[in-house]
């Protein structure tokens, strides 16, 4: 990316105040800062809103896997591709609840339930709402990602006790059409608005490494940062290798420093949002994860699997955080004998 020179107030005091009017030149200027300056600014802002030595933990369960009618070009669960994922029916409540119990014992503070749907049917939503109530009774935060929602469905989830709704934008508006054709970016924005209007907190981020350019990554952050309210959680996913999906033809793993720069820019532009290192952490060294924490990331998923892809083992995460002198709900937690998922 060419260097740009823009006059704007980039002092920590100014940027620490949430804004919703970020411009592309501002985002590029931040991204292009000398690495020590960028990390210093991000860490300064991070400390204004979070304990810099604490990492939030969550667990993710696929409660309905595969057979999705969407054609997302990165997804093993799409019915359009033969990625070797067997379609399943919606899980039973008791099985979900038992997995949530084990996740809590392993140190997860939030339990996320994902279903591979374009949108939930009302009869399925009844069952999901029952699951939400049961998990809430365990004392855990709840999150769900079920596809597109109507306003009424969002209200039902909120009344059932759901805390967060996840619906990622995936990438920039400019790159979006190259990876998905069955759902528009506006469809995603509308669902986010329905969740917000229903009183749900929003979890929304995207994926990098699908062949997009740095400008697309910044475009995704600009989209999120300029929403009427910043997402409370911003998951940043690295592309996970999946067989037989179109993204395989364009995917390229991001340079580690480029990833840290993106985390830092996300922290600066959305100072009060939790920034989560999500899918793809199995490709990251301990040193790279440590740099991401310094840049403002403060949440991870635990468990051996994330939906259908691998994730670092919980014992490795606990050991890394211990080496860094950082705390999390993993401290003193019971390590699971088998995968949480």
Given 102, 110, 156, 203, which residue is catalytic? 203
Given 102, 110, 112, 217, which residue is catalytic? 112
Given 75, 129, 204, 292, which residue is catalytic? 75
335/321 Cα distance (integer angstroms): 15
For the question of residue 112 being annotated catalytic, the response is yes
For the question of residue 204 being annotated catalytic, the response is no
Question: How many CB atoms are closer than 10 A to CB 20?
Answer: 12
Given 72, 129, 204, 292, which residue is catalytic? 72
What tokens appear for 311 in the block?
Answer: 């994730």
Given 267, 276, 281, 292, which residue is catalytic? 276
Given 129, 143, 204, 292, which residue is catalytic? 143
For the question of residue 276 being annotated catalytic, the response is yes
What tokens appear for 162 in the block?
Answer: 């759901």
113/145 Cα distance (integer angstroms): 6
What tokens appear for 13 in the block?
Answer: 């005091």
Cβ–Cβ < 8 Å for 116, 97: no
Q: Could you give the residue numbers annotated as active site? A: 68, 72, 75, 112, 143, 203, 276
């Amino acid at each position: 990316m060419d260097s740009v020179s823009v006059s704007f107030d980039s002092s920590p005091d100014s940027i620490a105040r949430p804004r919703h009017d970020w411009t592309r030149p501002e985002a590029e200027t931040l991204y292009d800062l000398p690495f020590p300056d960028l990390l210093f600014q991000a860490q300064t802002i991070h400390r204004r809103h979070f304990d810099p030595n604490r990492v939030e933990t969550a667990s993710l369960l696929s409660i309905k896997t595969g057979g999705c009618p969407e054609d997302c070009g990165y997804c093993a669960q799409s019915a359009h591709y033969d990625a070797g994922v067997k379609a399943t029916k919606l899980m039973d409540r008791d099985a979900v609840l038992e997995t949530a119990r084990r996740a809590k014992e392993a140190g997860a503070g939030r339990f996320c339930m994902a279903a591979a749907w374009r949108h939930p049917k009302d009869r399925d939503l009844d069952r999901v709402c029952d699951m939400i109530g049961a998990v809430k009774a365990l004392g855990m935060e709840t999150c769900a990602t079920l596809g597109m929602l109507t306003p009424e469905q969002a209200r039902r989830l909120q009344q059932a006790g759901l805390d967060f709704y996840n619906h990622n934008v995936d990438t920039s508006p400019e790159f979006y059409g190259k990876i998905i054709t069955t759902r528009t970016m506006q469809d995603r924005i509308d669902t986010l608005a329905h969740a917000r209007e229903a009183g749900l907190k929003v979890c929304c981020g995207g994926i990098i490494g699908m062949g997009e350019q740095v400008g697309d990554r910044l475009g995704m952050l600009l989209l999120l940062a300029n929403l009427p309210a910043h997402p409370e959680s911003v998951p940043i996913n690295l592309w996970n290798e999946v067989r037989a999906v179109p993204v395989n033809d364009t995917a390229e793993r991001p340079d580690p420093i480029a990833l840290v720069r993106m985390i830092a820019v996300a922290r600066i532009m959305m100072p009060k949002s939790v920034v989560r290192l999500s899918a793809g952490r199995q490709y990251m060294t301990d040193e790279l994860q440590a740099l991401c924490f310094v840049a403002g990331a403060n949440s991870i998923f635990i468990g051996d699997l994330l939906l259908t892809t691998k994730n670092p083992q919980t014992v490795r995460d606990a050991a890394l955080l211990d080496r860094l002198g950082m705390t999390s709900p993993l401290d003193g937690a019971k390590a699971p004998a088998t995968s949480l998922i």
